[in-house]
A and B are shown apart, each in its own frame.
Chain A
Amino acid sequence: MNGPDIWHILLGNLGWGALPFVRAWRDPSVSELIGAAAGSVVVIGAVAVLALLTWAKAWRYLWTEWATSLDHKKIGIMYIALAGVMLTRALIEAVLIRTQQATAINAPGLVEPGHFAQLFTTHGSIMIFFMAMPFLTGLINYVVPLQIGARDMAFPYLNSVGLWLTVGGAALMMVSLVIGAFSTGGWSGYPPYTELAFNPGVGPDYWIWAVTLSSVGSTTAGINIACTIYKMRAPGMGWMRMPMFCWTSLCTAIMMIFAMPPLTVATLLLAADRYAGMHFFTNGHGGDMMNYVNLFWLFGHPEVYILILPAFGVYSEVVSAFSSKELYGYTSLVIATAAIAVLSFTVWLHHFFTMGQSADVNAAFGIATMAIGVPTGVKIYDWIWTMFRGRVRLTPPMLLSIAFMVTFTLGGFTGIILATPPLDYVLHNTLFLVAHFHNMLIGGLLYGLIAGYMYWFPKAFGFRLNERWGRISVVCWVAGFYLAFMPLYVLGAAGMARRTQEVFDPAFRPWLLIALCGAATLFAGLISLFVQLYVSIRDRHANRVPVGDPWDARGLEWSVAAPPPEWNFASIPHVGRLDAFYWRKRNEGAYHPADHYHDIELPKESACGVIIGVAAAACGFGLVWHIWWMAALSLFVIFVTTIARSFMRDVTKIIPAETVEAFDREWLAQARAAHPVPRQLEQSEINEGLAEWIA
């Protein structure tokens, strides 16, 4: 065997040209330099983080306390940290996209077409699969077990596997910045464009494997969340006594279980075409790309409700807490949530009205799409009625909720426009569509995720976030959204196609410049979130809320210390009504020691999840570059780890009753010593997490 053959076996299709630095050296254009700069940021960032961890001697701490942890709270926090990193990257890409379109009016602009296509593909793929999904999975992970009075998820180990599979997928996304190039096929990756015949490079392969890992991870998360809510509720916590966030989480989980397999099938069949020469979606040889489109949107439409329902849950909690009122129309909200979950499986075809079905079919799906607006409208009214005559405090999460109600309703109207097939024929594939779904995803989903992050942050870390920077951030997110996307409605109605690298109509220039300002404002919103986090950590001693109920809120999650102990509840609570904690505060008192303290069994740390995630990412990398030994070895590692784990019997640890009792009594002492804070002062430093109970 001669030299090149060995290198090909070892490194597959990898070559020097895969590195953006080399490409920029060979062709120092602005476009290549931006690529090289992005690659450098990833490399330098990774090296800096590694160096910092080594310098701070934090490796052991991170490994034993975080990476291998099966504690649902830590897994939730890690999910959200991942979402934060990926949000930063994808938002920078968004600013680049806006800059490109604003400057490329009868001019080449910053980046060449292929690079621009990578930008909108990674922006979309990351925002959906590696920002929104991890963020909401993290929130659910953290909050739901606490809300239903459980000590952990139903399957703590599966939880860890799901997290690390998602991290593996995200790692593939980041690696694609440094080695090779990403797909240019958009976040939906439609064949036949993404087939070998038109896209022989590694881009679509990166997309396939990153999305597959995310999709499998989300399936496991869905199974876990659903099973947790079905089976782990505290005694007395009947279905209609669950907090609204649990209901929306349950519906989201059920949708994940049914909607993720279509995505997995779509990506795997595309992989079968690309790797094994099959003909599922090719031109000719009996391939049918419509199958892909149906599969993708059979996932993709439920997906948008998978994303939005947890946000609805957050708004329900936030509006109720900061209005000091029981959620108005709880039953109707539950029914509306379930109705949305069911209807979401009946509308996928509206994503391709123009792709050749008959007018009757289009009409049926158009009507189904408009029907979803009804339960959503019910929800909006319920939130408004919850605020009505409540003691509304305009905290940052509450501001976001109010901004959401207005923005989301606007987006709903443009949704009705797009759901009308004849209008869709005019507007599809224009910036009008882009404006519409950003209207729903920023004004609906992202506001909700940020509101949830701010609302539950004091619970997770034991101190409040800085309100001033919170408000600044909210203003940026809201103003930025309107500046960035209202012009796109205009441009779309004027006929500007989406994903355009160069613009030929100078009349579009002012609108594109406004949109660019909006993108910059949104970026400022993200920066102020980070500033808020920094300032809050700096001032944490003044803002501690150790008793754990800083907002005079209602769910069981507020009935324990902040941050909660690893075992959540010293004794499992008994639930007699909706908002049991709120009632208990006002009637029998919420801060009593347990009758008896028992030993508590908790899942022990495990490295298996991390190993599986790393191996899955390596397997994906090997497949992308056709490094077959790496793919095979990684698969083998996953297999062996799974089997080895099934042999382990020492997988739980016991927290002795004395430890539980000591912690609980110390916390109760803090609660007795704390000064109850009236609602109007809860954003000041006297808030120690003990609410003053005004009936």
Chain B
Amino acid sequence: MDRVAPPLRHPGLNLADDPRDTRRRFESDVFGFWIFLMSDAVLFALLFAIYGTMLRGTAGAPGPADVFKIGPAFIETLLLLTSSTTFGMASIALKRDAGAGALVGWLIVTLGLGLAFLGMEAHDFVTMAAAGATPERSGFLSAFFVLVGMHGLHVTIGSIWLCVMLLQLATIGRDRGVKLNLLRLGLFWHFLDVIWIAIFSVVYLQGLIR
């Protein structure tokens, strides 16, 4: 039997049996989220640009070399990268339509890693504040806290979203809406990983050089 065109499929979704209209709908729903992520990427790009221009605006307050601790930042990087992998495992479980256990399990591991990341980041911030590096001290510190804090805020929202999805998996099950939102959450989560890699390189590694 010949296939004229490969069936329209998205990773993590099993929609081949759905009517054409439903598949088109799905495609558009996911595409919209990609566009949102582009707009979110612009937001981060601008915050990076502001951070870059404010590196020297330390105004006598602690500068990059004084306050950044590469050790915790590296562990945070590992946590977040691992959480992206575990979310990938969850996506595969969803795609293969494996038992609900695997999907929920991987999602819970992802959530745990996300929360660990947030905890460490909060600890970093508190340590910095205790050393006198608070955002109202200088333009540089303002830019640092807003850039890294904005990423942290995104991870927080992602974690809440993960909790909501776990609740929906328990109460609603894997229906169209839940699958769609898991796919979008996956995109969001990986996107935050990409942003973090940029933060680790531009903020922390660059801070080490100075």
A651 — nearest CB in chain B belongs to which residue?
B177
Q: Is B50 interfacial (CB 8 A cutoff)?
A: yes
- Give 1 or 0 for each of A263-302: 1 = CB within 8 Å of chain B CB: 0110001001100111110101111100100010010000
Q: Is A232 interfacial (CB 8 A cutoff)?
A: yes
Contacts of B164 in A (CB 8 A): 643, 646
Q: Is A219 interfacial (CB 8 A cutoff)?
A: yes
Q: Contact: A227 with B31, CB < 8 Å?
A: yes
Q: Is A344 interfacial (CB 8 A cutoff)?
A: no
Contacts of B50 in A (CB 8 A): 265, 269, 280, 291, 295
Q: Is A26 interfacial (CB 8 A cutoff)?
A: no
Tell me which residues from 163 to 177 in chain B have a Cβ below 8 Å from any Cβ of chain A. Answer: 164, 168, 171-172, 175, 177
Distance between Cα atoms of A272 and B27 in the complex (Å): 38
Q: Is A389 interfacial (CB 8 A cutoff)?
A: no
Tell me which residues from 102 to 147 in chain B have a Cβ below 8 Å from any Cβ of chain A. Answer: 135-140, 142-143, 145-146
Contacts of B172 in A (CB 8 A): 647, 649
Contacts of A158 in B (CB 8 A): 32
Q: Contact: B35 with A223, CB < 8 Å?
A: yes
Tell me which residues from 19 to 67 in chain B have a Cβ below 8 Å from any Cβ of chain A. Answer: 24, 27-29, 31-32, 35-36, 38-40, 42-43, 46-47, 50, 53-54, 56-59, 61
- Count class of interface residues, chain A: 35 or more
Q: Contact: B28 with A279, CB < 8 Å?
A: no
Given contacts A277-B136, A286-B139, A646-B181, contact A265 B28 (CB under 8 A): no
Q: Contact: A264 with B28, CB < 8 Å?
A: no
Contacts of B43 in A (CB 8 A): 261, 264-265
Q: Is A457 interfacial (CB 8 A cutoff)?
A: no
Q: Contact: A279 with B32, CB < 8 Å?
A: no
B134 — nearest CB in chain A belongs to which residue?
A277
Q: How many A-B contacts at CB < 8 Å in the complex? A: 114
Q: Is A257 interfacial (CB 8 A cutoff)?
A: yes
Q: Is A258 interfacial (CB 8 A cutoff)?
A: yes
Give the residue among B42, B145, B164 with the most A Cβ atoms within 10 A. B42
Partner of B139, one of A232, A287, A295, A649: A287
Distance between Cα atoms of A646 and B180 in the complex (Å): 11
Contacts of B181 in A (CB 8 A): 646
Partner of B46, one of A261, A272, A288, A643: A261
Distance between Cα atoms of A257 and B31 in the complex (Å): 14
Q: Is A230 interfacial (CB 8 A cutoff)?
A: yes
Distance between Cα atoms of A280 and B145 in the complex (Å): 11
- Give 1 or 0 for each of A209-248: 1 = CB within 8 Å of chain B CB: 0000000000100111011001110000000000000000
Q: Contact: B31 with A280, CB < 8 Å?
A: no
Q: Closest CB-CB distance, B187 to chain A, in whole Å?
A: 14
Q: Closest CB-CB distance, A386 to chain B, in whole Å?
A: 33
Distance between Cα atoms of A223 and B36 in the complex (Å): 7
Given contacts A258-B42, A277-B136, A295-B46, contact A154 B177 (CB under 8 A): no
Partner of A261, one of B42, B143, B146: B42
Main secondary structure of the interface of B (DSSP, over half): helix
Q: Contact: A154 with B28, CB < 8 Å?
A: yes
A285 — nearest CB in chain B belongs to which residue?
B59
B157 — nearest CB in chain A belongs to which residue?
A639
Given contacts A261-B46, A269-B50, A276-B135, contact A154 B142 (CB under 8 A): no
Q: Contact: A279 with B53, CB < 8 Å?
A: no
Distance between Cα atoms of A291 and B171 in the complex (Å): 48
Q: Closest CB-CB distance, B210 to chain A, in whole Å?
A: 15
Distance between Cα atoms of A155 and B29 in the complex (Å): 8
Distance between Cα atoms of A257 and B36 in the complex (Å): 8
Distance between Cα atoms of A261 and B39 in the complex (Å): 7
Tell me which residues from 142 to 165 in chain B have a Cβ below 8 Å from any Cβ of chain A. Answer: 142-143, 145-146, 164
Given contacts A231-B31, A260-B39, contact A279 B46 (CB under 8 A): no
Q: Contact: B42 with A154, CB < 8 Å?
A: no
Q: Contact: A231 with B35, CB < 8 Å?
A: no
Distance between Cα atoms of A223 and B28 in the complex (Å): 11
Contacts of A260 in B (CB 8 A): 39
A287 — nearest CB in chain B belongs to which residue?
B139
- Give 1 or 0 for each of A348-382: 1 = CB within 8 Å of chain B CB: 00000000000000000000000000000000000
Distance between Cα atoms of A227 and B30 in the complex (Å): 10
Given contacts A231-B24, A231-B28, A261-B39, contact A286 B138 (CB under 8 A): yes
Given contacts A265-B46, A649-B172, contact A223 B39 (CB under 8 A): yes
Q: Contact: B139 with A280, CB < 8 Å?
A: yes
B135 — nearest CB in chain A belongs to which residue?
A278
Q: Contact: A279 with B31, CB < 8 Å?
A: no
Q: Closest CB-CB distance, B25 to chain A, in whole Å?
A: 9
Distance between Cα atoms of A109 and B52 in the complex (Å): 47
Q: Closest CB-CB distance, A195 to chain B, in whole Å?
A: 13
Q: Contact: B142 with A647, CB < 8 Å?
A: no
Distance between Cα atoms of A423 and B210 in the complex (Å): 43
Contacts of B137 in A (CB 8 A): 285
Q: Closest CB-CB distance, B195 to chain A, in whole Å?
A: 14
Give the residue among A224, A269, A273 with the most B Cβ atoms within 10 A. A269
Distance between Cα atoms of A277 and B40 in the complex (Å): 25
Partner of B168, one of A222, A279, A295, A646: A646
- Give 1 or 0 for each of A506-523: 1 = CB within 8 Å of chain B CB: 000000000000000000
Contacts of B136 in A (CB 8 A): 276-279
Q: Is A262 interfacial (CB 8 A cutoff)?
A: yes
Partner of A286, one of B29, B35, B58, B168: B58
Partner of B53, one of A154, A276, A277, A288: A288
Contacts of A646 in B (CB 8 A): 164, 168, 177, 181
Q: Closest CB-CB distance, A604 to chain B, in whole Å?
A: 14
B145 — nearest CB in chain A belongs to which residue?
A278
- Give 1 or 0 for each of B54-82: 1 = CB within 8 Å of chain A CB: 10111101000000000000000000000
Given contacts A223-B39, A265-B43, A288-B57, contact A649 B142 (CB under 8 A): no
Q: Contact: A258 with B57, CB < 8 Å?
A: no
Distance between Cα atoms of A282 and B39 in the complex (Å): 27
B42 — nearest CB in chain A belongs to which residue?
A261
Contacts of A277 in B (CB 8 A): 135-136
Contacts of B138 in A (CB 8 A): 279, 285-286
Given contacts A227-B32, A286-B58, contact A265 B47 (CB under 8 A): yes
Q: Contact: A226 with B35, CB < 8 Å?
A: yes
Partner of A279, one of B40, B56, B142: B142
Partner of B54, one of A231, A258, A276, A288: A288
Distance between Cα atoms of A600 and B35 in the complex (Å): 28
- 7 A-B interface contacts by CB (under 8 A): A231-B24, A262-B46, A265-B46, A276-B135, A276-B136, A277-B136, A646-B181
Known contacts A278-B142, A279-B136; 10 additional CB pairs below 8 A are: A154-B29, A222-B39, A227-B28, A230-B28, A276-B135, A279-B59, A279-B139, A288-B57, A649-B172, A649-B177
Q: Which 4 A-B pairs have the closest CB atoms?
A: A286-B57, A286-B139, A278-B142, A231-B28
